[in-house]
Chain A
Amino acid sequence: MDFSLSEEQCLLRDSLREFVLREVLPEAGELDRASLFPARAVRRLAEMGLLGMSIPEAYGGAGLDALGAALAIEEIARGSASLAVTVSVTNSVCAGPIARYGSEDQRRRYLPRLASGEILGGFSLTEPDSGSDAAHLRTRARREGDAYLLSGDKAWVTNVVEGQVFVLVAATDPSQGARGLTAFLVENSFPGFTFGKVEDKMGLRSSLTGSILLQECRVPVANRLGEEGQGFKIAMTTLDGARIGIAAQAVGIARGALEESIAFSKQRKAFGQPINQFQAIQFMLADMSTAIEAARLLVHRAARLRDLGNAAFTREASMAKLFASEMVNRVAYQAVQIHGACGYSREYPVERYYRDARVTTIYEGTSEIQRLVIARKLLESV
């Protein structure tokens, strides 16, 4: 056992930490207020070679393993959870399945452009009436010659408007349920593809979320990802990996909340002394830091297991996602409490962290779905 990071991992973490404090954090509040996409930071990450952090080096990415990506996402989320999810989505749920299930042609067409930032990617499974119950989606794909015609509405898609290519799941054979789903690489320029309304969200306001409307959208057969009927499997394995990213995002937000709270508690005075002299404040900080460490260890364990590649990591990814997302909601709550009225004001970043934290128990598998996954694995083993 070795809990330390390698030199390379420390370098990655430290350089991103510095970048985030210097370039991301200062503008994150303003972008959040205006609901603006963090275009400059995305470009800077591309320049640093980290926009395609998980994309194989052969296709122009940084080729980070899951642990490296978890470290990177935590650092980015410490400054901006919106930027973190933007990057995480393009890597883990768009480039990831293309690298894993795509043909050589598909990899060459998309991965280098995703890595360079020329295009941004997304993932589209959820529909207005199917979230956790993902197998019952309504979007249909009908084969016609060398193309599929896709029709249906997709909801809550991250990286809409800015994204050019989406890994999108539709039913090729509705009678087969989960086994009748197929994944496609759908570009925003394909005829019949339109973005619907952009959602006005509580948090992650600089990450653009919205719907995709498909009306007989023509997708070449060459853009089918994997085989017909493989869509559910592709989606589920993709989400297993993505959950580690969301868990890392949650750890990053929580660390931001803790670091801001430590700094605030040192300078804020009440009853004649800095508030960090009161046990009430100290105990909140201690609980926050302990929960963050526990969450980070669960995240790193899941990532390590994924990188080893020889064992299932579904249970570990779900535990990391469940614990980290529930944790960040408690931690952000305490951060606002420590900041008092200042925590309720947009002048301080903890108000944003509090809102951003909320979605982590919901997307890429709600806490309830994670608990079902964990319980199923547990009860199988008894």
Chain B
Amino acid sequence: MNLELTAEHRAIQEMVRDFAQKEIAPVAAKYDRTREFPYENVRKCAELNLLGAMVTEEYGGSELDSISYTLIVEELSRACASTGVIVSVNNSLFCHPVEKFGSEDQKRRILVPHAKGEKLGCFCLSEPEAGSDAGNQQTTAVRKGDEYVLNGTKNFITNGVAADTALVFAATDKAKKQHGISAFLVEKGTPGFRLGKDEIKLGITCSGSVEMVFEDCRVKASNLLGQEGMGFKIAMNTLDGGRIGIAAQAVGIARACLEESSRYAKQRKAFGKVIAEFQAIQFMLADMATEVDAARLLTHRAAWAKDQGGRFSLEAAQAKLFASEAAMRSAVKAVQIFGGYGYMNDYPVERYFRDAKITEIYEGTSEIQRLVIAASLLKD
């Protein structure tokens, strides 16, 4: 056992930390208020090769391990949780499944530009009536010649407004339920594919979440990812990895809460001394710090387990569950430590508070994580 970061890990961590604090943090509040998609942030991340972090070099990626990837997402999310999830989605929910399940042609044609960050991807599983119950897909895909015709609506699609390619799940055989779901790579501009309503959200306001509408949308059969009927398996496998990214995002948000609160507590005075001298404040900070470390260890363990090549659903679910709830608890404490200022958008903690909430919901709610964990505990 060896729980220390390698020199290479530390170098990546420092590089991204430095970048995120200099380039991303200063504009985070602005994007949060305007809700504009941060194209400039994404472009800069692409320059640092952060968008295809784990993709092999052959397909334009950085070929880093999963622990490095969690370090990247944590540092970006420390500065701006929206940027963190934008990068996480392109890495975990788009590049990963295309590399793992894609044909050689799909990898050359589609993976390479997305891994390089020249293009951006998104992941379309959720529907108005299918969130946690993802097997209940209402979007359909019917084979016609060498095309599939897609009909249906997807919602809450992160990166949607900016995405060049969408990984879309649809039922090719409804009777088979989850075994009848297939995955498609749908490119922007494909006839019958359009953006629906813009989602106005509580937090991560600039991550470009949008509804996506497919009306007799004709997708080439060569853009079917994997085989017909493999879609649900692809989605679940992909989300296992995605959860590690969200856990890392949550760690980043929690750390932001802790660091801003510690700094504030050392300069804010009350009753004649700085509030950091009161045990009430110290104890909140101590609990936040402990939970941040525990969450990060769970996240790294899940990333490590993924890189070992075996199953890691349990580890990913535990990391995601704990880290997201720790982020929410930390955000509640951070706002409390800041008092009235914590409620104002002059300080960043009210944004952290809003951003933290989504981590308990997307890429599998806390409830879904608990079901995954319990199933694993009870299986034998």
Contact = CB atoms under 8 A, between A and B. Distances in A.
Contacts, number: 137
B286 to A, nearest CB: 4
Interface in A251-284: 262, 265-266, 276, 279, 282-283
Contacts of A262: 377-378
B286 A283 contact: no
A5 B2 CA distance: 9
Please classify the interface of chain B as helix (H, G, I), strand (E, B), loop, or mixed, using the class held by over half of its residues. Answer: helix
A294 B298 contact: yes
Interface stretch (A225-233, A295-303, A343-351): A295-303
B290 interface: yes
Contact of A304 (B3, B266, B289, B321): B3
A108 interface: no
A111 to B, nearest CB: 27
Contacts of A279: 367, 370-371
A111 B23 CA distance: 58
Nearest to A287: B370
B300 A266 contact: no
A374 B281 CA distance: 12
A207 to B, nearest CB: 27
Given A262-B378, A304-B1, A297 B371 contact: no
A290 B287 contact: no
Interface centre among B9, B266, B297, B375, by most A CB within 10 Å?
Answer: B297
A289 interface: yes
B262 A378 contact: yes
A323 B294 contact: yes
B209 interface: no
B283 A371 contact: yes
Nearest to B294: A294
A372 B297 CA distance: 22
B290 A300 contact: no
B105 interface: no
B304 interface: yes
B1 A374 contact: no
A341 interface: no
Nearest to B323: A294
A289 B378 contact: no
Interface string A5-26: 1100100000000000000000
A370 B279 CA distance: 12
Interface centre among A9, A289, A378, by most B CB within 10 Å?
Answer: A378
B377 A286 contact: yes
Contact of A3 (B287, B305, B370): B305
Interface in B287-342: 287, 289-291, 293-295, 297-298, 300-301, 304-305, 318, 321-322
B5 interface: yes
B176 interface: no
Given A3-B1, A285-B374, A301-B3, A382 B318 contact: no
A282 B283 CA distance: 31
B276 interface: yes
A34 interface: no
A283 B370 contact: yes
Contact of B3 (A1, A293, A374): A1
Given A1-B300, A282-B370, A300 B1 contact: yes
Given A3-B3, A266-B378, A319 B370 contact: no
A150 interface: no
A146 interface: no
Contacts of B291: 323
Interface centre among A1, A6, A372, by most B CB within 10 Å?
Answer: A1
Contacts of A297: 3, 294, 297-298, 301
Given A279-B367, A294-B297, A304-B4, 20 more contacts: A1-B4, A1-B9, A2-B2, A265-B378, A285-B378, A286-B321, A289-B373, A291-B322, A293-B318, A294-B298, A298-B290, A300-B1, A301-B293, A301-B297, A319-B290, A319-B294, A368-B279, A371-B287, A374-B286, A382-B262
27 contacts: A1-B2, A1-B6, A1-B9, A3-B3, A3-B301, A3-B305, A266-B378, A276-B378, A279-B371, A282-B375, A285-B373, A286-B374, A289-B373, A293-B298, A294-B297, A297-B301, A301-B293, A304-B1, A319-B294, A323-B294, A372-B279, A374-B289, A375-B282, A378-B258, A378-B262, A379-B266, A379-B285
